[in-house]
Structure 1
Amino acid sequence: MRCIAHRGFAGLYPENTLTAVRQAAAQADMIEVDVRRCASGELVVFHDETVDRLTDETGAVAEYTAAELADMDIDGSGEGVPELSAVLEAVPPDVGLDLELKESGLIEDVREAVKGADVDVWLSSFDTDVVARATETTDVPVVLIVDDASEAAIERAAGLGCAGIAPHWRLIDFALIERAHRSDLAVYAWPINDIDRAASLQKMDVDGIVAEEPTACTGD
């Protein structure tokens, strides 16, 4: 079962920062980060649409330049919002990177950004239009994140050419996993923050967990 560090183990480190990425790289098989575009055009790594929750500033990420975002203080950590290029450089070759695309219009630039990267990259999104564009224009695996566990959701992911489907852990049962695997879809559960739940999912043959802390993966 693959261990994927949610926002760089956001339960332990300042989420989506270079520190989180570097720390998670020593403890996870893959790191999940969120990608948006900022006002100056660069791709930056930040989850929310606005900077309000994690910084002392207010307003949309899309209203700030990369330099302005880099000067912000994420959750009191002293670190700013990193560009995707810096995150790609921080991930070692033996650790994968799951880029969750938070908005449309990113695929072409993401494809260029990862072209020369020495790291295995996946793309993921809740947005079916984004996922469709990703599967049509890239060769990297794409995962559809879903908030329902219906047969239609599995058919949608398979029809889009996805490599996997990522439901909330509460939606996962043996039937869902069996249906997904029959459609050649891996199943990734999120968000996981305790070892007992992780162990239960592993017994159910889940392919990976998107974990808040490394203890969910290791039991330490």
Structure 2
Amino acid sequence: MPYREHPYRAVPYLLNSRPGAAGSVDLHHSPLAFVHRGGDPARENTMAAFEAAVAMGYRYLEIDVRTSSDGVLVVFHDETLERITDGTGPLSEKTWQQLAGLRLRASGEPLLRFEELLTRWEDVHLNVDLKDGASVDEFARLVEAHGAHDRVLAASFNDARRHRVRRALSRRVATSGGWVVTALIVLLGPLGLMQRLGRRSTEIDCVQVPISQGRIRVVTPGFVRRCHRAGLQVHVWVVDEPEEMRRLLDMGVDGLMTDDAAALAQFMAERDGAVWPQR
């Protein structure tokens, strides 16, 4: 069933799930475009990358967060600092003051606090991958403090973190399924056993998956149909080639995440049925 015919759940974060969202273009039944870590590997998870993406027309930013030793939520993917910064060791062992002095080796950009990004724009949506258990309480506190419930999606491979987020918040935020739910859809779906997911599928709003996991092809027409029947959107990462973008959207996928912000922006601008910029 193509996404244009699919009755989405009415989730404010997923603006294409309901018509006439206040303050935005009507994205109803249009595909969503996300920049993965900012869509610029040289400036991964930095304010400069996110500002450039928003200027291109993006309103969905996929990010990762980890917690410093003094409880600050930092926009950062890796457990340790070496791959992209001039620092060393686990991020969790550094204070924010120490982390603020580091720079990305490729671009010289500083690290970014989650609260800075959350408050930078009022109309930008953050797809937040909670990378450590300590991030849950601070994430919930900041969402509550800034009334950002409709602008964030809580994502984690660890389903327990998603449950903790829900319990910590005064009202619901959008969530995506972890590995357990996704694996069950992949494995049970072809056997006609989707009903065995029970409440697992009703507690989430989408699945965010790679095209393949090892030798297993995850995103297939059957997988997309099964997710849609369960009321779930399908967002796919990481997609950088226009031909792959086209193939996936033709299959009925609801959102694409990319490391190449310029390529996906151009594709969306030329795609029939897409809304671009996402304003």
TM-score (norm 1): 0.90
Moved over 6 A (4+): none
Cross-structure match for 2:61? 31
Residue 123 (str. 1) matches residue 154 (str. 2): yes
Cα gap change, 1:156 to 1:57, in 2 (>3 Å): farther
Would you say 1:95 and 2:124 are equivalent positions? Answer: yes
| Cα distance change on mapping 1:75 and 1:117 into 2, 3 Å | farther
Alignment partner of 2:45 out of 8, 16, 19: 16
- The answer to whether structure 1 residue 78 and structure 2 residue 96 are counterparts is no
Rounded to whole Å, the distance in 2 between the matches of 1:186 and 1:122 is 13
Partner in structure 1 of residue 266 of structure 2: 218
When the two structures are superposed, what TM-score results if normalisation uses the length of structure 2?
0.72
- Give the superposed CA RMSD: 2.2
5+ long unaligned stretches in structure 2: 1-30, 213-217, 270-279
**CA offsets 1:35-84 (integer angstroms, 9 cap, x no match):** 11001111111000000101122100001111111111113322221111
Whose strand fraction is larger, Structure 1's or Structure 2's? 1
Q: Is contact 2:201-2:230 (8 Å) kept?
A: no
The alignment status of 1:62 with 2:92, answered yes or no, reads: yes
Cα distance in 1 between the residues matched to 2:175 and 2:59:
17
C-alpha displacement at 1:160, in angstroms?
6.3
Task: Indicate the residue corresponding to 2:206 in structure 1.
Answer: 164
Q: Residue 71 of structure 2 aligns to a residue in which SS?
A: coil
Tell me by how many angstroms 1:105 deviates: 3.2
* Higher deviation after alignment, 150-159 or 165-174: 150-159
**Aligned residue pair count:** 218
Aligned counterpart, 1:192: 239
Provide the rounded CA distance (Å) in 2 between the counterparts of 1:177 and 1:158: 17
Q: In percent, how many aligned pairs have the same letter?
A: 26
Cα deviation, residue 112, structure 1: 1.7
Compute the displacement of 1:33 (Å): 0.8
Q: How does 1:1-12 map to 2 (within 5 A)?
A: 1-11=31-41
Contact 1:16 1:46 survives alignment (8 Å): yes
Report Cα offsets for 1:87-130 as digits up to 9, x if no partner. 1122x222211111001132222122123156711111111111
| Distance in structure 2 (CA, Å) of the matches to 1:191 and 1:120 | 22
SS in structure 2 at match of 1:73: coil
Q: Any idea what SS the aligned residue of 1:32 has?
A: strand
**Which consecutive unaligned segments of at least 5 residues does structure 1 have?**
none
- Measured in 1, the distance between the counterparts of 2:70 and 2:38 equals 25
SS of alignment partner, residue 67 of structure 1: helix
Alignment partner of 1:106 out of 132, 135, 144: 135
Letter in 2 for 1:49: E
Instruction: Tell me which amino acid in the other structure corresponds to 1:209.
Output: L
